[in-house]
């Protein structure tokens, strides 16, 4: 995972948003072994969730992300 840029909310600042399409475009074309996309679409109440992993693998990905995002 040497190409991963760690998200640092202190640097980004409160209420700042990167362009979602740019983030997705940068992720295209990679050989994902497990992938999960989770987000909220403006004006909708439900989460958007998509991925190529089964439920257990998806849970592992979420836990790994929590460990990295929340010190």
pTM: 0.66
Cα radius of gyration rounded to whole Å, the chain: 13
Confidence of residue 27 (pLDDT cuts 50, 70, 90): very high
Domain boundaries, the chain: 34-71
How confident is the model at residue 18, as a pLDDT? 84
- 34 touches 61 (CB < 8 A): yes
Percentage of the chain with pLDDT > 90?
56
Where is average pLDDT lowest: 11-15, 41-45, 65-69?
Answer: 11-15
How confident is the model at residue 69, as a pLDDT? 83
Nearest partner of 26 among 5, 49, 48, judged by Cα:
5
Distance, CA of 24 to chain centre: 9
Query: Average pLDDT of 43-62?
Result: 93
HEC-encoded secondary structure of 2-44 = CCCCCCCHHHHCCCCCCCHHHHHHHHCCCCCCCCEEEEECCCC
């Amino acid at each position: 995972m040497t190409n991963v840029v760690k998200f640092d909310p202190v640097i980004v600042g409160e209420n700042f948003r990167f362009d979602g399409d740019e983030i997705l475009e940068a992720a295209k074309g990679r050989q994902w072994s497990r992938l999960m996309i989770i987000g909220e679409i403006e004006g909708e109440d439900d989460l958007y969730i998509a991925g190529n992993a089964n439920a257990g693998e998806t849970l592992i990905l979420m836990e790994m992300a929590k460990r990295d995002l929340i010190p």
